[in-house]
Structure formats: structure tokens, C-alpha cells
Structure 1
Amino acid sequence: MLRQFLGSLGVLTTLVPDRIIDVFEAVVVENPDENTVHSWFSPLIRAEGVVIVLAALRGGRLYVWLINVTGVFGAVLFFFPRLYEQIAGPLVYEDPEPVEWNEHLTDGVRVIGAVYVLLALLDRQRRNAS
């Protein structure tokens, strides 16, 4: 079930990366119209979607690797949520200085981190039970 869900997210990310960026900005940035996203960020999002789809379809080691990386990333987000701003700003925007992050971003990042860790743990438990 998790593989199908992740595969669906991967397809969505592959097909409409610009829309994904728009949603991201609407949720986490107070001044999205004042910032310029790197021109290569949309293709990067699309490539991420392709990797997720391949992992979900193929399963095996690639899928396990992706879930494990997701869990580790989730732990980092949970314990160091402000690090997300420091990484996301330069990664997403040409000039990250004027980006005004939403005041609830830290709490949201922690929740996302906890969900990532939970998904990785549930998948590991499922694999160990098999």
C-alpha cells in the first residue's frame, strides 16, 4: 500500500513539478512573488519523481534504499527543523536572503519529519514480518 502511495506521489511530481513548487511556496513562504526559483529546480523535482516511481514499481533494494533515506531525512527534519530553511533557501531560490518563511514552518517540518520516520519504521516492520 505504501509503495502505491509513494508511486502515485512520484507520478504527480513527475507530471506537474511546477505545480508542486507553487503549492510548496503557498504553504511555507510568506512572499512567494518576491522570490525567483532556480531554473533547474523544476527538472530536479521531476527527476526526483521519476526515481520515486521507479523505486515504487521495482521494489527491492532501490525501494528499501529510498525508504531508509526518507527515514533518515525525516529524523534530521524532526530534530533539526531550522536546518530545513538553511538548506531549502539556497536550493530552491536564486537569492534566498529575502525569503520570508511562514511562522509555522518549524512545526510543519517537524510533523513531516515524524511522518517520514514513521513510514520508514512501518515499512521496516512489514519487511521483517515477511
Structure 2
Amino acid sequence: MLRKLLIAFGIFEIANPQPVIDACERIGLENPEDARLRPRALWGARLEGALFVWVLARRESGATIANRLLALAGIALVLVPQPIVEVSQQLVYENVDELETKPWVDPAARLLGALYLTVAALSTIGSDESNEDATVN
């Protein structure tokens, strides 16, 4: 069920990334109304959604390059979120110096890292159908 929910989220993020970015801005910025996105920011969000769908919808289990990259990003976010947040802001916003982050940005980034690790873990256990068959037999 979690796999299907995360695939649905990934499809939503591919189709309509702006609400996802808006939510992240409300969570992480004191002044989200001042944020000026770079043109490629929407494509970055779409790429994240596509990566979720790709690693979760594959029928084969096992680690792929995409899965490993997602897991590495998750580990980095969980262990050292601040440098990742800073690099992400530089890539996403034109006016990083004008933005004020909220105090819980690092914990929120750690949660995002945990989400990435969850997606990576779910992708290694195969599809929902194969798991259900294995438990029935």
C-alpha cells in the first residue's frame, strides 16, 4: 500500500510540481512569498517524482543505479542535512541571500532523507503482488 501511495505522489509531482514546491517553501521558509524559483526548479521536482516512480514501479527487485543514488542522497540528508539544504537552495532559488529558513529545516531535511531511504528500501523488495504471493504460499 505504501508503495502505491508513493508512486501516486511521484506521478502527482511529475504532473504538477508547483504545489509540492509551495508546500516545501511553507515548511522551510519564513518568507516563502519572497522566493524566486529558477526555471529549472520545476524540472528538478519532476525528476524527483520520476525517480520515485522508476524505482518503485519496476517489477524486478534489487539495487539499480537510480536506487543507489536515492539511497545515498537519503543517507546524506539524514546524517548531514545542512550542506545538502544549502546546495539545494542554490540550485532552486535565484535569491538565496534574501530567504530566511525556519529552525526546523534540518529536521525536515532528515525526514526527506528518511523518505528517500524508504523508497529505496521498498524498491529492493519487489512488487506488492510478489510479496503477497510469497506470504500466502
The TM-score range, normalised by the shorter chain, is 0.7 to 0.9
Q: Is the 8 A contact 2:40 2:92 kept in 1?
A: no
Aligned counterpart, 1:29: 29
In structure 1, list runs of 5 or more residues that go unmatched.
none
**Identity among equivalent pairs (%):** 24
In structure 2, list runs of 5 or more residues that go unmatched.
none
Q: Indicate yes or no: 2:43 matched with 1:17.
A: no
Secondary structure of the corresponding residue to residue 12 of structure 1:
helix
CA deviation after TM superposition for structure 1 residue 23, in Å: 0.7
Q: Distance in 2 between matches of 1:59 and 1:73?
A: 23
TM-score, length basis structure 2: 0.74
Q: Cα–Cα, structure 1 residues 90 and 117, in superposed 2: closer, same or farther, change >3 Å?
A: same
Secondary structure of the corresponding residue to residue 96 of structure 2:
coil
Q: Is the 8 A contact 1:55 1:62 kept in 2?
A: no
Q: How many residues align?
A: 128
Q: Cα–Cα, structure 1 residues 76 and 54, in superposed 2: closer, same or farther, change >3 Å?
A: closer
TM-score, length basis structure 1: 0.77
Which protein shows a greater Rg?
2
**Deviation by residue 1:8-54 (Cα, 9 ceiling, x = unmatched):** 12111012111111111111111111121112211332243234334
- 1:1-130 mapped onto 2 (5 Å cutoff): 1-60=1-60, 64-121=64-121, 123-124=123-124, 126=125
CA RMSD of aligned residues (A): 2.8
CA deviation after TM superposition for structure 1 residue 100, in Å: 0.7
**Deviation by residue 1:47-90 (Cα, 9 ceiling, x = unmatched):** 43234334433444897433322221111011111112211211
